[in-house]
Structure 1
Amino acid sequence: MKKPELPNTEEKRLETLKALNILDTLPEERFDRVTRMAKRLFNVPIALVSLVDENRQWFKSSDGLSASETPRDISFCGHAILGNSTFYIKDALEDTRFNDNPLVTGDPNIRFYAGHPLTAANGEKIGTLCIIDKKPKKLTEEDLTALSDLAYTVEQELCAIQLSTMDELTNLSNRRGFTLVANHYLNFNKKQNMPATLVYFDLNKFKHINDVYGHSEGDNALQLFASVMKSSFRNFDLLARIGGDEFIALLFNSDLNSADEMIEKLSHHLKSVVSSQELEYEVGFSYGLIECNSLLPSSIESYIQQADNKMYECKHEQKNHE
C-alpha cells in the first residue's frame, strides 16, 4: 500500500480548510443534495464530500457509508488532492498502490474509486467529491466531465458558507444562496440533456394571517409551508425562500407535466397538514411554472422573473373566481 504524499503547500492548505469552520459540523442539505445526485447519476452505492484534514478524511456528506471519517494515510482522497483532475481507479485490486489497503481488503471493500479535488478560492485542494463502488467500473469522458461539474457545485457551496445564504426562519436557501448555485445546476442539467422546471410560489392571504393572528403565527405558516415543500419535492431538488411569503423550487429532470404532478402532491399534503394541526386559517398558494429550456439559454434571474409573472397571472385568475 502506498500512503498519500503531502502537498507542497500543506500548511496553507490546512489553514484554508480550518478557516471554513466546517469540520465536525452537522450534515447540511446543500451538500447531501449533491451526493444524492452523484450516487444516482453514476449508479454507485457510495458518494461522499470528503475533506482531508491533517490526520483524517472527514465526510461532510456521506451517502451509502456509515463511517464519518477514516485515517488519511489509507485514504484514496489523500491521493486525489495532489492533482487538478479526477483521480480515477477502475479496479483497486489491480493497482499496487491500493490492492492491500484496509479499505479494499475490508469494509467498505472499495474496488472502483473516482474523486475530483475540491479547490478553495485561493487554489488550495481541501478535499474531494468522490464516488465509490464495490465492483470494478469504467467511466467515460462524459462521466468524468459530469463528476467535475458536480465537484464545482460543491466548491460553490463551500464558498457560500462564508456568505449569508440561508434563510434562518425556514432553513431553506435565501435568494442569494439560491442564485449562487442555481445557474451551475442548470448548466449541469442541460449537459445531461435533462429538462428542468422552475416554480415560483406566493402564499395566499398571508397578510391576513399576520394582521389577524399575529406575526408569530405568520412565521409558523412560513415554516409549515417550507416543511411541506421539503417533504413533497424530491431530495435533490433546489428549494428557497426568496421573499416574505415567496418561495421557489428548481425541479431537476422534470418537464411541466411532471412539475404539475408534484405541485398537486404538495397541495394535497399541505391541506392534510393544516387540517391535522387544526389551524384557524388556511395556508394556500398561487404558483407559476417556467420550463428552463436548454435551446433558449437564460439566466436563473430571468427564469425567476418569468415564473413570477406566471404566478401573478394565476393569482389574478383565482381572484376573478372568488
Structure 2
Amino acid sequence: MRDDFEQAIAEPVRLAALESLDILDTPREAAFDRISELIKLIFDVEIGIVSMIDAHRQWYKSVIGLPNNEVSLDGTFCRYTLQLAQPVIVPDATLDPRFADNPHVTGEPHIRFYAGAPIMTATGQVIGTICAIDKRLRPFGERETAILGHLAAIVMRELELRQEASTDLLTGAGSRRAFKEEAGKFLALATRHRTPLSCIALDVDHFKRVNDTYGHAAGDQVLAGIAQAMRSELRQSDFVGRMGGEEFAVLLPQTELATAAQVAEKLRHVVKGLRFTGSNPPIQVSASFGVAALSPGDDIVSLLNRADQALYEAKRTGRDRVCRAGTPGATEKINPRRVLKAGQIVFDHGRAAFDCTIRALWDNGAEITLSLPTAIPDSFELVVKATAERHHCVLTSRSAGAIEAAFAT
C-alpha cells in the first residue's frame, strides 16, 4: 500500500482526473444501473455499486441493494481499493482485521463479503470503484476477479465516450460536455459585451415512476419527446443540453432573468401538455424549473449551480413550477477557479467538524459539497487539508448537496 506521503502527492492529480470527467453528483442513468444489475446477476450478490470517490466521500453513480447514495470515505471498504489501485477481495469481513469492527459489518447492512475493483483512467488514476457486496459468504476466484475488472473497464470506457460525444444520442440535445463548452463561449461574449445571459435547469418530476411503471423504453420516449418539444419552442440561438438522466439545461443568450422565467413557464406548460402513446391512458409528465441570470464573477459552473439551487427549491416546494435563483451576494467573486480539494468545516468552537470537498475557490469565497449541508451554521471555519490554510466563512447559499461561503474579512 502506498504510504501517506505518496498518497498526498498523488491525490491532486487523481482528483483533477475525476473532475475532468464531470460525472460527480449527476443523476442516475440506465447505462450505469445495468452494470450494477450485472454485478448482482453474475456474482449472485445482494448489492452492486458503481461509485466515484472524491476528496471526502464515496458517491454512488449507481447502487442497487442499498438505500443511501453516498458514504464517508473513512468508513468504506473501497478506500483500500483506491489506495492499492487493484482489486480487493474480502471473503469474510468479520475475520479481516481491517473491517471486523466496521459499523457496516457489525451493524446494518451486516456485510460479510466484499469484492471491489478500481475504475482507472488510461494514465493510471483511480477515480472510483465497482463493488460486489453480500451479507453471506461468497466464492470468488481469479475468474470472478477478472470479470469484475472488465466491468470496471467498461464503466471507464463509458465515461470516456461521454467526454468525446457532443450530442446526446437519445434526445438529440447537446451532451453535458458540449453544453459546458458552448456555454463557456456564450458567457465570455456576454461578459465582454456586458449583455445579459440566463440559464434554465429542469428536471422531469417523478421520472423513476415512468421507468418503473412503463419500462425504460417508454422513459426514453418521454425524454426524447421533451427535448424535441423544447427545441421547437426555443430560438435558434438558445442551446439545450442533457445534463444526465432526466435533467436538462437551457442556455438563453441576450436574455434577462424575468424573460428567462417567462420562457421557463412556457416550457413548463409545453411539457405538461405532452402525451406519449403506447399506454392507456397515454403517459403524461410534469417538470420543475430553476432559472438564474449571469452575475459578476460567475463562471458556467456557478451559473448552473444557482439554476440548480432554484430547481431544488421548485422541487422542494411542490414540483411542476418555476423558481428563480436569488440574487447572489453583493460581493463579486474575485479570481474564481475550479478545484477539487479535500476540506473540513469546523464550528461550535471546534467541537463539530464535517469532511467536505471544495469544488471551487475564489479569492474571497468557496463552493463546497458535503453530505449534510443543512447541518452547517451561518458562520464556520473552512480548512483546506492539502495546505492547512484556514478561512473564517459566512454562508451565502445552500442547496441539496452544496453550499457557498464568503471569506470573512
Q: What TM-score, normalized by structure 2, do the two folds share?
A: 0.41
- Alpha-carbon spacing, 1:93–1:21, altered in 2? closer, same or farther (3 Å): same
Write out per-residue CA displacement over residues 50-81 of structure 1, whole angstroms, 9 at most, x where no aligned residue.
11111111111101111111111111111101
**Letter in structure 2 aligned against 1:231:** G
- Between the aligned partners of 1:158 and 1:60, the Cα distance in structure 2 is 12
Structure 1 residue aligned with 2:129? 128
**Structure 2 partner of 1:119:** 120
In the alignment, what sits opposite 2:19? 18
Name the structure 1 match of 2:78. Answer: 77
Query: Which AA in structure 2 matches 1:107?
Result: E
Alpha carbons of structure 1 residues 73 and 168: separation in structure 2 relative to 1, 3 Å: same
Identity in percent: 38
Alpha carbons of structure 1 residues 170 and 111: separation in structure 2 relative to 1, 3 Å: farther
Q: CA deviation at 1:88?
A: 0.5
Task: Provide the C-alpha distance between the structure 2 equivalents of 1:272 and 1:137, rounded to a whole number of angstroms.
Answer: 42
Partner of 2:108: 107
Q: Give SS of 1:37's match.
A: helix
Kindly state the Cα deviation for residue 121 of structure 1 after the two structures are TM-superposed.
2.9
* In 2, Cα distance between equivalents of 1:91 and 1:100: 12
Report the Cα distance in structure 2 between the residues aligned to 1:97 and 1:33, rounded to whole angstroms: 30
Taking the aligned partners of 2:34 and 2:216, their CA distance within structure 1 comes to 15
* Partner Cα separation in structure 1 for residue 172 and residue 45 of structure 2: 32
| SS of residue paired to 1:166 | coil
Q: Which has the higher contact order (CA 8 A, sep 6+)?
A: 1
1:231 aligns with 2:232: no
Q: Which runs of 5+ in 2 are unaligned?
A: 176-210, 220-275, 283-409
Instruction: Quote the Cα distance in structure 2 between the aligned partners of 1:271 and 1:31.
Output: 27
Equivalent-residue separation in structure 1 for 2:216 and 2:163 (angstroms): 29
The residue number in structure 2 matching 1:68 is 69
TM-score (norm 1): 0.52
C-alpha separation in 2, matches of 1:66 and 1:56: 16
Q: Is the 8 A contact 1:90 1:138 kept in 2?
A: yes
Equivalent-residue separation in structure 2 for 1:115 and 1:35 (angstroms):
12
**Residue 89 in structure 1 maps to residue 90 in structure 2:** yes
The one-letter code matched in structure 2 to 1:169 is T
1:166 aligned to which of 165, 168, 176: 168
Q: Distance in 2 between matches of 1:232 and 1:143?
A: 29
- In proportion to residue count, which structure has more strand? 2
The AA in structure 2 aligned to 1:150 is L
The total of aligned residue pairs comes to 188
Instruction: Provide the residue aligned with 2:266 in structure 1.
Output: none
What is the aligned partner in structure 1 of residue 302 from structure 2?
Answer: none
Deviation at 1:31, TM superposition (A): 0.7
* Structure-1 separation of matches of 2:278 and 2:74: 52
User: What secondary structure sits across from 1:148 in the alignment?
Assistant: helix
Q: Is the 8 A contact 1:50 1:77 kept in 2?
A: no
Tell me if the contact between 1:14 and 1:126 (Cα under 8 Å) persists in the aligned partners. Answer: yes
Partner amino acid, structure 1, of 2:143: E
Amino acid at match of 2:27: L
Written as runs of structure 1 = structure 2, the 5 A alignment for 1:153-232 is 153-164=154-165, 166-169=168-171, 231=215
Match in the other structure for 2:38 = 37
Deviation, structure 1 residue 13: 0.5
Q: More helix by proportion, 1 or 2?
A: 1
Distance (whole Å) between structure 1 residues aligned to residue 168 and residue 107 of structure 2: 40
Residue 12 and residue 41 in structure 1: after superposition, are their counterparts in 2 closer, same or farther (change >3 A)? same
How far apart in 2 are the matches of 1:276 and 1:107? 42
- 2:119 counterpart letter in structure 1: L
Two-structure CA RMSD over aligned residues (Å): 3.4
Matching residue's letter, 1:166: D
Q: Is the 8 A contact 1:28 1:61 kept in 2?
A: yes
Could you give the per-residue CA deviations for residues 15-73 of structure 1, whole angstroms, max 9, x where no partner exists?
A: 11122221111001111111111111111010101111111111111011111111111
Contact 1:45 1:133 in 2 (8 A): yes
3-state SS in 2 of match to 1:137: coil
How much does 1:90 deviate? 0.4
Cα offset for 1:82?
2.0
> How far, CA to CA, are the matches of 2:145 and 2:114 in structure 1?
12
Aligned to 1:55: 56
- Partner Cα separation in structure 2 for residue 170 and residue 40 of structure 1: 32
Distance 1:68 1:139, change over 3 A: same
1:23–1:272 Cα change, 3 Å: closer
Separation in 2, partners of 1:56, 1:73 = 8
| 3-state secondary structure, aligned to 2:48 | strand
- After the TM superposition, which of the residue ranges 76-85 and 23-32 deviates more from structure 2? 76-85
